[in-house]
Amino acid sequence: MAERMVMRAIRAGEVPPDGGTALQENPDRPVFRGHGPYDYVCVQCGNVLAQAMSLEAMNKRVRIKCGRCKTINVAVYDHKGET
Protein backbone atom coordinates (compact mmCIF):
# COMPACT_ATOMS: atom_id res chain seq x y z
CA MET A 1 0.00 0.00 0.00
CA ALA A 2 1.30 3.44 -0.94
CA GLU A 3 2.14 6.09 1.62
CA ARG A 4 -0.15 9.13 1.53
CA MET A 5 1.41 12.52 0.81
CA VAL A 6 -0.86 15.46 1.59
CA MET A 7 -0.37 18.19 -0.97
CA ARG A 8 -0.69 21.89 -0.12
CA ALA A 9 -2.86 24.66 -1.50
CA ILE A 10 -1.10 27.15 -3.73
CA ARG A 11 -0.22 30.48 -2.16
CA ALA A 12 -1.66 33.73 -3.48
CA GLY A 13 0.37 34.84 -6.49
CA GLU A 14 2.36 31.60 -6.63
CA VAL A 15 3.17 30.69 -10.21
CA PRO A 16 5.57 27.79 -10.76
CA PRO A 17 8.20 28.19 -13.49
CA ASP A 18 7.35 26.12 -16.57
CA GLY A 19 4.36 24.61 -14.79
CA GLY A 20 0.73 23.99 -15.54
CA THR A 21 -2.42 22.93 -13.74
CA ALA A 22 -3.90 19.51 -14.38
CA LEU A 23 -7.68 19.34 -13.98
CA GLN A 24 -9.21 16.29 -12.33
CA GLU A 25 -12.32 15.70 -14.43
CA ASN A 26 -13.58 12.70 -12.45
CA PRO A 27 -13.15 12.98 -8.66
CA ASP A 28 -13.10 9.17 -8.40
CA ARG A 29 -10.05 8.81 -10.68
CA PRO A 30 -6.53 10.16 -10.01
CA VAL A 31 -5.12 12.56 -12.59
CA PHE A 32 -1.78 10.74 -12.67
CA ARG A 33 -0.81 7.10 -12.09
CA GLY A 34 2.74 5.87 -11.73
CA HIS A 35 4.84 3.14 -10.16
CA GLY A 36 6.18 4.98 -7.13
CA PRO A 37 5.57 4.68 -3.41
CA TYR A 38 3.30 7.70 -2.81
CA ASP A 39 -0.36 8.59 -3.28
CA TYR A 40 -0.83 12.37 -3.35
CA VAL A 41 -4.07 13.64 -1.81
CA CYS A 42 -5.87 16.99 -1.75
CA VAL A 43 -5.05 19.17 1.25
CA GLN A 44 -8.70 20.26 1.59
CA CYS A 45 -10.78 17.10 1.13
CA GLY A 46 -8.34 14.17 1.04
CA ASN A 47 -9.29 13.08 -2.48
CA VAL A 48 -6.58 11.04 -4.27
CA LEU A 49 -5.14 13.23 -7.04
CA ALA A 50 -2.08 11.21 -8.08
CA GLN A 51 -1.56 7.51 -7.39
CA ALA A 52 1.69 5.57 -6.92
CA MET A 53 3.97 8.47 -7.81
CA SER A 54 7.66 9.08 -7.14
CA LEU A 55 9.06 12.22 -5.50
CA GLU A 56 10.84 13.08 -8.75
CA ALA A 57 7.59 13.07 -10.73
CA MET A 58 5.67 15.22 -8.24
CA ASN A 59 7.55 18.49 -7.94
CA LYS A 60 6.45 22.07 -7.38
CA ARG A 61 5.86 22.63 -11.09
CA VAL A 62 2.97 20.11 -11.05
CA ARG A 63 -0.33 21.57 -9.89
CA ILE A 64 -3.61 19.67 -9.73
CA LYS A 65 -7.09 21.15 -9.37
CA CYS A 66 -9.19 18.77 -7.29
CA GLY A 67 -12.33 17.56 -9.04
CA ARG A 68 -14.19 17.29 -5.74
CA CYS A 69 -13.52 20.58 -3.89
CA LYS A 70 -11.79 22.65 -6.65
CA THR A 71 -8.69 23.40 -4.52
CA ILE A 72 -5.53 23.85 -6.56
CA ASN A 73 -2.84 21.65 -5.00
CA VAL A 74 0.92 21.48 -5.37
CA ALA A 75 3.38 18.94 -3.97
CA VAL A 76 4.69 19.99 -0.56
CA TYR A 77 8.26 19.05 -1.41
CA ASP A 78 10.02 18.82 -4.71
CA HIS A 79 12.65 16.18 -5.43
CA LYS A 80 15.29 18.43 -3.82
CA GLY A 81 13.30 18.53 -0.56
CA GLU A 82 12.44 22.20 -0.92
CA THR A 83 9.12 23.54 0.35
Ordered by start, the domain boundaries in the chain are 3-74
Query: Residue 30's closest CA among 19, 39, 21?
Result: 39
Number of Cβ within a 10 Å radius of residue 60: 20
Contact 3, 38 (CB under 8 A): yes
Reported as a single tens digit per residue, the pLDDT across 23-38 is 999 999 999 999 999 9
pTM greater than 0.85 (yes/no)? yes
Task: Average the pLDDT over 28-55 and give the result.
Answer: 97
Reported as a single tens digit per residue, the pLDDT across 61-76 is 889 999 999 999 998 7
Return the pLDDT at 8.
Answer: 94
In this model, does residue 18 exceed pLDDT 80? no
Angle, alpha carbons 77-79-83 (nearest 5°): 25
